[in-house]
Structure 1
Amino acid sequence: MFAQMEAVRLEALHLAHDPATGMRAVIAIHNTRLGPALGGCRFLAYADEESAIRDAMRLAEGMSYKAALAGLAQGGGKAVIMRPPHLNDRAALFEAFGRMVDSLGGRYITAVDSGTSAADMDCVARQTTHVTSTSQGGDPSVHTALGVFAGIRATALARLGSDDLEDLRIAVQGLGHVGFALAEQLAAAGAELLVSDHNPGLVQLAVEQFGAHPVPSEALLATPCDILSPCGLGGIFNSLTVAQLRCAAVAGAANNQLSHPGIADELEARGILYAPDYVINSGGLIYVSLQHEGAPPERITAQMQEIPRRLTDIYAHAQAEKRSPARVADQQAERLLFG
């Protein structure tokens, strides 16, 4: 385990079990050089403990890089609660998790993520103040979608020569809170939408509301489009899937889209412009971080407007240095995190 932690330069790994509620939780703290670790809490079914720990560690690393390049006084962390087969009292489970968070004394601040909601964070808040995105705080996914939309325009400008999205063919994979809100913005901008999701009801809703074209999930990656926007879970790009892509650029909200760092080079070799995921999807983190510290709305807006500017700068460096934008972004973040 220590070798795995060293491989990603993880500061700390915390595990807790609450027999009364069945809670089994992992909190990974990656880096606190810039401030306390902030990152969402996932509540998902995992095959085993090792899978949950690996997920928390890798996601915590991504949060450090995301916070650093977003200009936030935060480190990176992530929590994972292994969803039990039978859940008797959800509120009690999240209160138990709140006690775990509180025991860390503010080194980690939790928030919503896959499988959790503002109502869950309200339960956490009964036990600790080190929590954000409660029902009073607002939905961060809206801000994630706003940032991704602005990032897609910056990506279109860099790769296609114009940030006008009208009539561009954009494929959105995943229609959760972020993906659906993004699809709405893309449709309003005149883009031709291709959509897929494991939930047929969400696909049908996108067809009815946005005039989207449904595509089976297994076929979307190989479908011709201008921009592919992955907005589901991560790890979707490997050597096999990259070889199938028929797009000019990849720009989406999903975390950890690349199965390993070398995939960025394979995208670059194919001439596919890749928007580093932790840069383009940082809007939600910007919102929850600044909202937690009580920043005024105008400061949050100003910080959000840095997302497309930061991407444009990364693309310019990548083009000049003839390497992947992901490599450029990593190097910039590592300078801030490790000196």
Structure 2
Amino acid sequence: MSLFEHPDFDQHEQVSFFHDAESGLSAIIAVHNTKLGASLGGCRMWPYANSQEALTDVLRLSKGMTYKAAMAGLPQGGGKAVIIGNPRHDKTQALMYAMGKAVDTFKGQYVIAEDSGISVQDLQYMATQSHHVAGTSAKFAYDGSPADGNPAPSTAYGVYMGVKAAVEHVMNSSLKGKTVAIQGVGHVGLRLARHLHKAGANLIVADIFNEGVEIAKNELGARVVDPQEIHAMEADVFAPCAMGGAINDKSISEIKAPIIAGAANNQLASKQMDKLLLEKNIVYVPDYVINAGGIIDIYHQRNESSAQALRAQLEQIGDTVKNIITRSQTEKKPSEEVANILAEEKFKFS
């Protein structure tokens, strides 16, 4: 299948494939749209089954970043990078150097940041080869705590504000006593769990790795279930916080939670899931709306700003979520369709 005929190709401005035999780098960088500004998006390292799977992911993720930036009101476009490989076994300093060189070929039209499988240290290695690397350090954190450049705390706080807003709007209730099923308790999911626990929510968690699960169980009193069953739990909110495609042909009939709101990108396996969720009276909070905290953080770090200004914009995510849910219910349109219309008004017709 060629790039232009790929079902997830959406008038992307540039898609580049990189291979470096010496370091073993196999990567793809996709720039979707730069009408509002240079594209920014994280780099994901994952053991994709093949290059076609990696291409699908980077095309969808980069498009999502365009919509995410537009909905967050940021003057930047959307891009993304993926490295094919297992971050726990295949990652080397040389690999990160090679990735930095790849980023530099875009001459600033793509700015790379952190995503699954990539750390602040990895970005620092990339930054030795390119000036177009974000998240290598930070001037402040939204809550005044020490900051190292990792945007995960801001992403988690933004998701928390979105979950809180959805529960308030749909159930006319606080989070106290509500049950949230979190699929994936990594850098963002575990932080989200802590926010929810502090707000009085009950937690059910699952992950393919044990570290976060054990912390959630011992520190937060979370109930642990099998990763293949987490979506079907009796809960008030299902929060996908792992890889994409959590809402698919199989899982959609098994989801019992009346609200879906989580940190994962590309939660809908296909466009039709949005409509099917509406028909099932399940309120879906579009992923690129609720998980925008990371790019909001990076924007504030790269410009003259403050912890207070960052926190205020993160908390606006809750207001945006309520607005989208209201319009979805009033107009009887799927929530992602509503969000897409609002985003496209900004980057297509500005």
TM-score, normalising length: structure 1: 0.95
Does structure 1 residue 265 correspond to structure 2 residue 275?
yes
| Alignment partner, residue 42 of structure 1 | 44
Q: 1 CA distance for matches of 2:27 and 2:211?
A: 31
- From the superposition, tell whether residues 6 and 204 of structure 1 become closer, same or farther in structure 2 (CA, over 3 Å): closer
Alpha carbons 1:144, 1:282 under 8 Å: kept: yes
Corresponding position of 2:249: 239
Partner of 2:240: 230
| Counterparts of 2:210 and 2:86, CA distance in 1 | 26
Q: Quote the RMSD (CA, aligned, Å).
A: 1.7
Cα shift at 1:236? 1.3
Gaps of 5+ in 1: none
Determine if contact 1:124/1:131 at 8 Å carries over to the other structure.
yes
Structure 2 residue matching 1:132: 3-state secondary structure: coil
1:302 to partner: Cα distance: 2.2
Q: CA deviation at 1:303?
A: 1.6
CA contact (8 A) 2:8 2:59 kept: no
Residue 94 (1) aligns with residue 96 (2)? yes
Q: Does the residue aligned with 2:28 lie in a helix, a strand or coil? A: strand
Matched, 1:116 2:126: no
Matches within 5 A, 1:189-204: 189-204=199-214
Q: Which moved more, 1:130-139 or 1:193-202?
A: 130-139
Distance in 2, Cα, partners of 1:129 & 1:202: 33
Please say if residues 37 and 75 of structure 2, whose CA atoms lie closer than 8 Å, have aligned partners that are also in contact: yes
C-alpha distance in structure 1 between counterparts of 2:254 and 2:88, whole Å: 39
Would you say 1:177 and 2:179 are equivalent positions?
Answer: no
C-alpha contact 1:119 1:135 (8 A) present in aligned 2: no
Check whether the contact 2:8–2:60 (CA below 8 A) recurs between aligned residues: no
Report the structure, 1 or 2, having the larger helix content. Answer: 1
Unaligned 5+ residue runs, structure 2? 139-147
> What is the rounded CA distance, in whole Å, between the counterparts of 1:85 and 1:253 in structure 2?
20
Q: 3-state SS of the aligned residue for 2:63?
A: helix
Residue type of the partner of 2:114?
Answer: V
Deviations along 1:19-47, one digit per CA (max 9) or x if unpaired, are 22111211000000000000001111122
Is 2:295 the counterpart of 1:285?
yes
Q: Secondary structure at the match of 1:237?
A: coil
- Matching of residue 33 in structure 1 with residue 38 in structure 2: no
Partner of 1:157: 168
Would you say 1:146 and 2:148 are equivalent positions?
Answer: no
Partners of 1:252 and 1:86 lie apart in 2 by: 24
Question: Match for 2:217: what amino acid?
Answer: V
Conserved? CA contact 2:36–2:347, under 8 Å: yes
- The whole-number CA distance in structure 2 between the counterparts of 1:15 and 1:237 is 29
Query: Per-residue CA shift, 1:148-192, capped at 9, x if unaligned?
Result: 111011100121112x11100111110000000010111111101
Q: Secondary structure at the match of 1:221?
A: helix
* Counterpart amino acid of residue 303 in structure 1: Q
Query: Comparing 90-99 with 275-284, which one deviates more in the overlay?
Result: 90-99
- The structural deviation recorded for 1:240 is 2.0
Which amino acid in structure 1 is aligned with residue 219 of structure 2? Q
Rounded Cα–Cα distance in structure 2 between residues aligned with 1:151 and 1:34: 25
- SS for the counterpart of 1:39 is strand
Classify 1:5/1:200 alpha carbon distance in 2 versus 1 (closer, same or farther; 3 Å).
closer
Shift of 1:239: 2.5
Q: Which amino acid aligns with 1:284?
A: G
Distance across 2 between alignment mates of 1:192 and 1:297: 30
Residues 1:71 and 2:82 are matched in the alignment: no
Residue identity matched to 1:154: A
Cα distance, 1:321 vs. partner? 0.1
Cα distance in structure 2, aligned partners of 1:143 and 1:224:
28
CA distance in 2, matches of 1:212, 1:10: 42
Q: CA deviation at 1:300?
A: 1.6
Residue 19 of structure 2 is matched in structure 1 by: 17
- For the residues of structure 2 that align with 1:12 and 1:80, how far apart are their CA atoms? 14
Contact 1:39/1:63 (<8 A) preserved: yes
* Deviation, structure 1 residue 291: 0.9
| Inter-CA distance 247–6: structure 2 relative to 1 (3 Å threshold) | closer
Equivalent-residue separation in structure 1 for 2:199 and 2:315 (angstroms): 18
Task: Assess if the C-alpha contact under 8 Å between 1:165 and 1:190 holds in 2.
Answer: yes
> Is contact 2:154–2:294 with CA below 8 Å preserved after alignment?
yes
Cα distance in 2 for partners of 1:320, 1:11 equals 35
